[in-house]
Chains A and B, each alone.
Chain A
């Protein structure tokens, strides 16, 4: 048997059924998208046709082996028709208030950045086998200590470092209890969240009292004016409004995703982290320090999650309020699961949740829906709930996750 024939047999055939499922999802999204600005199609036939094609494609995928994917395709295509028709009922003016794609893109990136940082942090921790429910608490520590550090040292980048340090310190506590003391990792993570909430609230009131944080050095925006000069003019305008005024930390977040991919999948350290997460006994036999790698991974996750919080306080809102993370750490955890513990998957999931957060306040601006404004705040959490329900295939975590390791 030659090597070539073995390779040939091992080659995966192009899976038509899977492609059909993906096409179904795409058609469903398209059915909705065409009804929005700038196309603003008003003939009902268009989204209906697109949607029906999507449903057909999804059913075909379902019949040919991909049950979950096919079903998801059918549901998204069906939803696409419904939402598309619904969007057609709204006045074009209202639609344009909500959907300005350039502003929406920028807003999506802004809302997604804390999620990206926290989720990538969670990625490191969970890939090494330690569940990190405490992302929310670590984010909050970063938010407070970032702004406090920037205030005390009068520099934004020192603020970032101090914030990261605080997150890492809290993560270290989580690591000690989860790894050495073998506590239940979820209980430990929940405790971390309580601690962070109490500690940051306590210090905030103690140090700043009722006046709040006041003028604090903020992380600067990155001005990319050259984008506006890219022809054609429409594209240039879009690019400039979407990407031209983004904060430095947003670009850092995207860089972090790339770095995480390289570290996890292309370095020895990443291999060690993954092996400790999949089969710690085997890794220990080969000589890898399971405890050491896990401590490193969990502490790193704390520093990264804190970066998400730092962005919130000195990059986005420019102040601190108690419990300002408002559950974002958990949305990041959901993004991690939704993204199947892979950096670029996590990025996609975080962008999706960021999109929901970005659209919510815009929906409030529509006058006829003004009274329901508060309800739109549930959108990101609702979307997370639907995502975690596992519509898109089963998420398989690292094999040894959540189980404390006992050295023998």
Chain B
């Protein structure tokens, strides 16, 4: 009688499968991004008839990421900008400033991305990041332009905390409505976005409550007083500020809250299956409200960090041009709502937005205004492809062709 026995294996299949799943996650995100850029490139070709590769190269040059390897290689070679900068030092200096701008945007995008991701974990789609961001800005302006005599640490803390609370309250409205009457948060947060937009427009307009006392004919706010400004880590005017470290801290807090706390566990349970969670004793309504509130807190914090970190004043034109709350949606989705994923995707989008900026992109390569809309198209494509399972399924099927340690049944001769 022969018995089928299993030989000892190098690693348990579950570990290997888990590794492939994770790799699949990152791989999928990478493929999604490449696909989005590819289609974006097709749009460029179709509309302007130009080769998109120099365009992407120009955008990449504007991101400042080349500064990270500037001791090893001439920055101008990568960016193709030998005719633009006479010396390498010039190019390196410009790249440094660009990198600071990229990291500043990354800071904001981490926070607005967390605003979307945190709610997503509880099964809620928070598209209200933009409105929560504006509410945070308004509160930060209110606090940052007043209380000139306060000690610096306290002033900054007050501004950040109050802005986060305001954002949390604003998002909490949508969370409350979802928890009590079941109003879908997609519609309520979008309505709240527009309400915040018009409140902010009113606040900074001529005669509005937050409008400047000195420049009475310009719809802009007062300047933030020095005691409320965030400390600058690197660079001069509008350099990289400690908000960047704050954002990294927020990422860690997000991870800890979601994966290591009871609250986070409850939210994840509700996100997977609200009915089962309710059966298990978790209050679904409370989870919905808290998820939205904390998510809004991240977005409100983003507003305060931007204002106290580098903008230092806000006007009606800034309200109209603000978009980082919306980019946060793409950041969160591409980052699969995980801390590491958001770190990577916020860097990607921060770089993309900086590189396509009017200040950084050479108009002869591509019209910067067009580039701005191109990034919007790429964002849309990313969100579109992320939503489709097909990519994941096709990659998952590909794993069968990859070597996976198998349990080898061995016949034992009796």
On whether the two chains bind one another, the answer is: yes
Question: Which residues of A are in contact with B by a Cβ distance under 8 Å?
Answer: 133, 173, 177, 181-184, 186-188, 190-199, 201-203, 205-206, 326-327, 330-331, 333-334, 337, 371-372, 374-375, 377-378, 381-382, 384-385, 388-390, 394
Could you name 17 residue pairs across A and B whose Cβ atoms are closer than 8 Å?
Answer: A177-B384, A182-B390, A183-B384, A188-B384, A188-B388, A191-B383, A194-B326, A194-B383, A198-B374, A198-B376, A201-B376, A202-B374, A374-B198, A374-B201, A375-B198, A378-B195, A385-B195
Other contacts beyond A388-B183, A390-B182: 12, CB < 8 A: A133-B186, A187-B386, A192-B384, A195-B377, A197-B376, A202-B43, A202-B373, A372-B202, A374-B202, A378-B198, A384-B187, A390-B181
> Nearest Cβ distance between residue B68 and chain A, in whole angstroms?
29
Q: Which residue of B lies closest to A203 (CB)?
A: B47
CA distance A377 to B319 in the complex (A): 15
Q: Is the CB of B191 within 8 A of A385?
A: yes
Question: A385 contacts which chain B residues (CB < 8 A)?
Answer: 177, 188, 191-192, 195
A385 to B388, CA, bound (A): 30
Q: Check A198/B386 contact, CB under 8 A, given A205-B373, A375-B198.
A: no
**What residues of chain A lie closer than 8 Å to B377, measured between beta carbons?**
194-195, 198-199, 202
Inter-chain CA distance A384–B375, complex, in Å, is 31
A331, A333, A381 — which one has the most chain B CB atoms within 10 A of its CB? A381
Is residue B387 contacting chain A, with contact meaning CB distance below 8 A?
yes
> Are the C-beta atoms of A184 and B387 separated by less than 8 Å?
yes
Is B3's CB within 8 Å of the partner chain A?
no
Interface secondary structure of B, over-half rule: helix
Instruction: List which B207-237 residues lie within 8 A (CB) of chain A.
Output: 207-208
Residue of B nearest to A360 (CB): B198
Judging by beta carbons under 8 Å apart, are A187 and B47 in contact?
no
B344 adjacent to chain A (CB < 8 Å): no
Given contact pairs A375-B199, A385-B188, A190 touches B47 in the complex (Cβ within 8 A): no
| Residue B361 CB within 8 A of the other chain | no
Binary A-proximity of B99-139 (CB < 8 A = 1, otherwise 0): 00000000000000000000000000101000000000000
- Flag if B384 contacts A206 (CB, 8 Å): no
In the complex, the chain A residue whose C-beta lies closest to that of B372 is: A201
Q: Establish whether residues B379 and A194, one from each chain, have CB atoms under 8 Å apart when the complex forms.
A: yes
CA distance A334 to B185 in the complex (A): 12
Nearest-neighbor residue (CB-CB) of B120 within chain A: A187
Q: Nearest Cβ distance between residue B41 and chain A, in whole angstroms?
A: 13
Q: A195-B384, A389-B177 are in contact. Are A371 and B186 (CB under 8 A)?
A: no
Residues of B close to A197: CB separation below 8 A: 376, 380
Contact of B387 among A187, A206, A372 (CB under 8 A): A187
Known pairs A203-B47, A205-B370, A377-B198; A194 contacts B376 (CB<8 A):
yes
Q: Given the complex of chains A and B, what is the CA–CA distance between A332 and B191 in angstroms?
A: 12
The reply on B90 being an interface residue by CB < 8 A is no
Instruction: Report chain B residues within 8 Å CB of A382.
Output: 191, 195
Query: Do the beta carbons of A198 and B373 come within 8 Å of each other?
Result: yes
Contact residue among B182, B329, B375, B387 (Cβ-Cβ distance under 8 Å from A183): B387
Q: Which residues of B contact A187 (CB under 8 A)?
A: 125, 333, 383, 386-387
Q: How far apart are B42's CB and chain A's nearest CB, in angstroms?
A: 12
Question: Does the CB pair A330–B183 fall under 8 Å?
Answer: no
Instruction: Give chain A residues whose Cβ lies under 8 Å from the Cβ of B177.
Output: 385, 388-389
Q: Are B186 and A186 in contact (CB under 8 A)?
A: yes
Q: A190-B383, A374-B201, A375-B199 are in contact. Are A206 and B370 (CB under 8 A)?
A: yes
Per the bound structure, the CA–CA distance linking A337 and B182 in Å amounts to: 12
Residues of B within 8 A of A381 (CB): 191-192, 194-195, 198
Chain B residue, CB-CB nearest to A382: B195
**Least CB distance, B368 to chain A, in whole angstroms:** 10
Residue among A182, A183, A206, A333 making CB contact with B187, cutoff 8 Å: A333
Cβ–Cβ < 8 Å partners of B372 in chain A: 201
A182→B380 contact, CB < 8 A: no
The verdict on A195 contacting B183 (CB below 8 Å), with A183-B387, A190-B127 known, is no
Does B367 sit at the interface, judged by CB under 8 A?
A: yes
* Pairwise interchain contact A206-B47, C-beta atoms closer than 8 A: yes
Chain B residues lying within 8 Å of A193, measured Cβ to Cβ, are 380
Is the CB of B184 closer than 8 A to any CB of chain A? yes
> A375 vs B192: C-alpha distance in the bound complex, in angstroms?
13
Known A375-B198, A378-B195; judge A205-B367 contact (CB<8 A). yes
Instruction: Give the CA-CA distance A334 to B189 in the complex, in Å.
Output: 12
Residues on the A chain within 8 Å of B184, using CB: 337, 388
CA–CA, A20 and B322, complex, Å:
48
Partner of B380, one of A198, A326, A394: A198
Q: Is the CB of B188 within 8 A of A191?
A: no
B75 within 8 A of A: no
B330 interface hit (Cβ, 8 Å): yes
B107 to chain A, nearest CB (A): 22
Tell me the chain B residues, 40-64 only, with Cβ under 8 Å from chain A. Answer: 43, 47-48
Residue of B nearest to A136 (CB): B190
Using Cβ atoms and an 8 Å threshold, which residues of chain A touch B190? 327, 330
A195: B residues at CB distance < 8 A? 377, 380-381, 384
B389 at the interface (CB under 8 A from A): yes
Q: Within the assembled complex, what's the spacing in Å between the Cα atoms of A191 and B386? A: 9
The answer to the question of B287 belonging to the interface, with a C-beta cut-off of 8 Å to chain A, is no
